[in-house]
């Protein structure tokens, strides 16, 4: 959330491509130093792994769409929409991977997306292109998370994070070529440096969580970000979610937690020895 807050602060005067590029350069250096400290730079050839490249490409698309939407949406609303990613992962698993989902999780998915609609408010008077961007981010991140689970175990998590940072940074540089460069002020560089540290840490922890963690164990921590998003919106940007948005947030968080809990229950049942 610190990353998003810093980016939104500087986004009023810096182009999206420049934000992504400057923040990305610092994030790449940060992750590269950690890779060197852990002796995994010898695994750099693993950057060519198809799943690693696919994941990085999806994150590049998600990053550009997210930051563009962030400049025009309330930070709490956008953050809440992104909390529907686990529900989108479950839906995509059913549609494309043949995973079986019972009526309870199906209901949770439906209610979760109703929560998204309450936040976005898809009426001709209120719907904007940035709402569509937010929904596309959910799809891109959900596919990215599915791809992450298929990255071979031999590929170090730090290398996956480094690939992500490099790809996103290069994408920002290409976008910068079309948008033009604005000389950043010292406070903006400081904000982007802070954002880079949190972004790089997020890359590393997110990849590790998706590859090693149980969704049911990590979900409660995932949804605590909503508290900080609302605080950031109110205290930093003077943004107050309306009652429909708050209801949507509650629906998304509640159904996401239930879906994670139900998935854990089913895994426990499947692991029980047959009588």
Give tens-digit pLDDT for 159-218: 999 999 999 999 999 999 999 899 999 999 999 999 999 999 988 888 887 776 655 555
Residue 81 has phi, psi (to 5 degrees) of -60, -40
Pair of tokens at residue 257: 């937690």
CA distance 257 to 224: 11
CA dihedral for 101, 105, 108, 112, sign (positive or negative): negative
CA distance 159 to 165: 10
Confidence check: pLDDT of 221 > 80: no
Q: Which residues 6+ apart lie within 8 Å of 69 measured at CB? A: 78, 130, 131, 133, 134, 137
Instruction: Return the DSSP state at 14.
Output: S
pLDDT of residue 205: 84
Predicted TM-score of the model (pTM): 0.88
pLDDT of residue 77: 93
Q: Report DSSP letters for 103-123, one per residue.
A: HHHHHHHHHHHHHHHHHH---
Share of the chain above pLDDT 70, in %: 92
Mean pLDDT of 53-62: 96
Residue 180 has phi, psi (to 5 degrees) of 95, 160
CA dihedral for 85, 88, 94, 97, sign (positive or negative): negative
Q: Which helix (H) or strand (E) holds 156?
A: none
Q: Which residues 6+ apart lie within 8 Å of 103 measured at CB? A: none
Q: What pLDDT band is residue 274 in, cutting at 50, 70 and 90?
A: very low
User: In whole angstroms, how far apart are CA 272 and each of 16, 253, 268?
Assistant: 50, 29, 7
User: In whole angstroms, how far apart are CA 171 and each of 58, 78, 194, 242?
Assistant: 11, 22, 20, 35
Q: Which residues 6+ apart lie within 8 Å of 57 measured at CB? A: 167
Pair of tokens at residue 267: 């895994």
CA distance 128 to 230: 21
pLDDT of residue 97: 76
CA distance 226 to 83: 9
Q: What is the mean pLDDT of the chain?
A: 88
Question: How would you class 60 by CB atoms within 10 Å of its CB: exposed for 0-12, middle for 13-18, buried for 19 or more?
Answer: buried
pLDDT of residue 21: 96
Asked if residue 5 lies in contact with residue 67, where contact means CB atoms within 8 angstroms, the answer is: no
Pair of tokens at residue 191: 């904000």
Among 134, 107, 48, CA closest to 255: 107
């Amino acid at each position: 959330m610190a990353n998003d807050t810093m980016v939104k602060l500087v986004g009023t005067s810096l182009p999206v491509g420049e934000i992504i590029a400057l923040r990305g350069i610092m994030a790449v250096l940060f992750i590269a130093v950690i890779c060197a400290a852990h002796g995994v730079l010898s695994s750099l050839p693993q950057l060519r792994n198809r799943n690693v490249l696919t994941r990085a490409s999806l994150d590049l698309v998600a990053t550009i769409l997210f930051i563009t939407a962030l400049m025009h949406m309330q930070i709490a609303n956008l953050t809440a929409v992104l909390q529907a990613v686990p529900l989108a992962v479950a839906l995509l698993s059913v549609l494309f991977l043949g995973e079986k989902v019972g009526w309870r999780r199906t209901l949770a998915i439906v209610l979760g997306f109703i929560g998204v609609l309450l936040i976005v408010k898809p009426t001709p008077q209120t719907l904007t292109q940035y709402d569509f961007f937010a929904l596309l981010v959910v799809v891109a991140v959900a596919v990215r998370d599915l791809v992450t689970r298929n990255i071979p175990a031999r590929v170090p998590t730090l290398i996956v994070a480094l690939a992500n940072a490099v790809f996103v940074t290069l994408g920002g540089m290409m976008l910068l070529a079309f948008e033009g460069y604005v000389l950043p002020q010292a406070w903006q560089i400081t904000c982007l440096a802070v954002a880079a540290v949190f972004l790089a840490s997020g890359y590393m922890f997110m990849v590790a969580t998706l590859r090693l963690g149980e969704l049911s164990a990590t979900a409660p921590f995932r949804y605590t970000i909503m508290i900080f998003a609302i605080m950031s919106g109110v205290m930093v940007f003077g943004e107050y979610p309306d009652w429909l948005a708050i209801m949507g947030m509650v629906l998304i968080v509640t159904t996401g937690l239930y879906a994670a809990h139900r998935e854990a229950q089913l895994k426990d049942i499947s692991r029980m020895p047959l009588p």
